[in-house]
Amino acid sequence: MTRVELVIVGAGGFGREVLGYAQDAFAGRPAHRVAGFADDNPRALDGFDLAAKVLGRVHDIPISEATRFVVAVGHPAARRALAAAVESRGGRLLTVVHPSAYIGPGARLGDGCVVCPFAFVGTAATIGANTAINVHASAGHDAITGGNCVFSPYSAINGGVELRDDVFLGTHATVFPGRTVGHGAKISAGAVVHRDVPAGALAVGNPAKSRVLFALDPG
């Protein structure tokens, strides 16, 4: 049986949630355990009664054959930077899927994803590495996401949607079937996307209107 010593990168609120998700996912797998957290703040967990503690910064964590990392922050750029810091040291990312989540036939999850309780990943969907799909969020059939995307609670992309890298979906944001959301775009909470969203844009409202905030390579 493969042994896993999981380090959660980020000891904030989402990190504490991911601790519980990982413990649930590891239930019945005695060779898997959460070793602790990586965080720049050694006192990030003061006041919280948790079995797992802050082990140090990402660059301080000893890496063995069993060590795996999962990034537990809710901002795409921070997810990208922290994953890069792990991989620059030869660390490996682990995908954590809560047992109550649904992963459809033929769906694929990249390394380092977090799929939270009651999330849905539809048939033949492809979820890019280091993407976080929060509680009750969903990716429809044949949807594709790039890396480092963040789905807030109850956000949804419908069938055939494509999200490029580093997209952020606010709570209850919805993207209509077949639409494309460009690299680094942000969909505001409650927004309903009827049309493609350019790279670097903020989409707000229903129907959502997009305003480009900064230039990004749309690839």
Same domain flag for 87 and 106: no
Same domain flag for 132 and 88: no
Structural domain boundaries, residue 17: 4-94
Q: Say if residue 110's pLDDT is above 90.
A: yes
Instruction: Indicate the residue among 35, 64, 94 that finishes a domain.
Output: 94
Same domain flag for 130 and 178: yes
Lowest mean pLDDT among 26-30, 124-128, 148-152, 213-217: 213-217
CA distance linking residue 143 with residue 175, whole number of Å: 11
Mean pLDDT computed over every residue of the chain = 96
Same domain flag for 133 and 89: no
| Residue 157 belongs to a domain | yes
CB-based contact 182:200 (threshold 8 Å):
yes
Where does the chain have alpha helices with state H? 13-26, 76-88
Same domain flag for 197 and 102: yes
For the entire predicted model, the pTM comes to 0.95
Confidence of residue 214 (pLDDT cuts 50, 70, 90): low
Q: Say if residue 38's pLDDT is above 50.
A: yes
CA distance linking residue 181 with residue 14, whole number of Å: 25
Same domain flag for 78 and 16: yes
